[in-house]
Amino acid sequence: MKAQFVADVGGTNIRLAQVVDGGISQVRKYLCNDYPSIGDAIRAYTQSFPQLQFNAGCIAIACPVDKDLIKMTNHHWQFSKAALKDELALDCLEVINDYTAISMSLPVLSAEQKVQIGGGQVQAGQNIAVFGPGTGLGVGHLTAVDDGWQCLDGEGGHVDFAPVDELDLAIWRFLNKKHGHASAEEVLSGRGLVQIYQALAEHFDKPALQTEPADITCLAIRGECELCEATLQQFCRVMGSFGGNLALNLATFGGVYIAGGIVPRFVEFLQRSEFRQRFEAKGRFQHYVQAIPTFVITEPDHGLIGTAAYLTQHFKG
């Protein structure tokens, strides 16, 4: 029996699933570090279904995909698309950026798979933006075309960090001194959360005791560390400013979505934060972005859902 697989590859995990009627089933997760190559990880999945003949697949991966040789940004895996297709004996192998996959999931997410932050109303068929703090910072845009949706890929996570208030400036100075440059990813990511914490500790002349993003987040949510709480508040503010910039870039009246592994852990904190105020704080264009809704994606397999949507739209075999 013929079957298709999809894979969502991040810096830490690879998730795999089968495509059934445009949706996904048999989802499994593997640690990237447990396998020497991506081909080994995919075979571990496909060989667990000996009754199926996999003839097509789509891989969403956290790095540029415009050349045949794929080199991951936040992991050591690299591979040739053509060679991997032959190695897995596939009729079709699509390799897309992970934020193309996430973007493709957005039109099909249900209300139960996302949480709205603030006001605004989705306008059907309008442009959509998504960004996601995680191991790095991914960014994607989606626009409607005649036969479905078209993703506008890029590396928006590496744009310059644009300070808005005095604490942002303290963070910018810290990053510029440390790296010689301050990108958005150095703020809106797991390591970014730690660097905000370190920058604020320096700014307020307090000891920096935490070194793990999960510890900073947990202590902030529980209200057990004033510096951690200030860190998470600033993280939310910066997300708001960054999301508002994406909304202005492409008139995203279909919504701005937050993906990634970090933010779903503190949705209630985000709702109480100044995220939405900073999203709307665009001077003369405040009224423009006020109409644009913002969401946190809470569906853990949204990357696979989008990869399946992409494969269904592009592979008719």
Q: What is the DSSP code string of 127-146?
A: -EEEEEESSSEEEEEEEEET
From the list 31, 27, 58, 54, the residue with the least C-alpha distance to 43 is 54
Is 306 annotated among the ligand-binding residues? no
Helix (H, G, I), strand (E, B) or coil at 298: coil
Is 180 annotated among the ligand-binding residues? no
Q: How far apart are the first and last CA of the chain?
A: 13
Tell me the H-state helices in 128-225: 166-179, 190-203, 213-222
What count of Cα atoms within 13 Å lies in the side-chain half-sphere of residue 167? 18
Is 12 annotated among the ligand-binding residues? yes
Is 136 annotated among the ligand-binding residues? no
Is 11 annotated among the ligand-binding residues? yes
Give the amino acid at 159: V
Neighbours of 132 (CB within 10 A): 29
Q: Which residues pair with residue 95 across a beta bridge?
A: 59
Q: Residue 8 phi/psi, 5° resolution?
A: -120, 110
Is 281 annotated among the ligand-binding residues? no
Annotated binding site: 7-12
Annotated binding site for ATP: 7-12
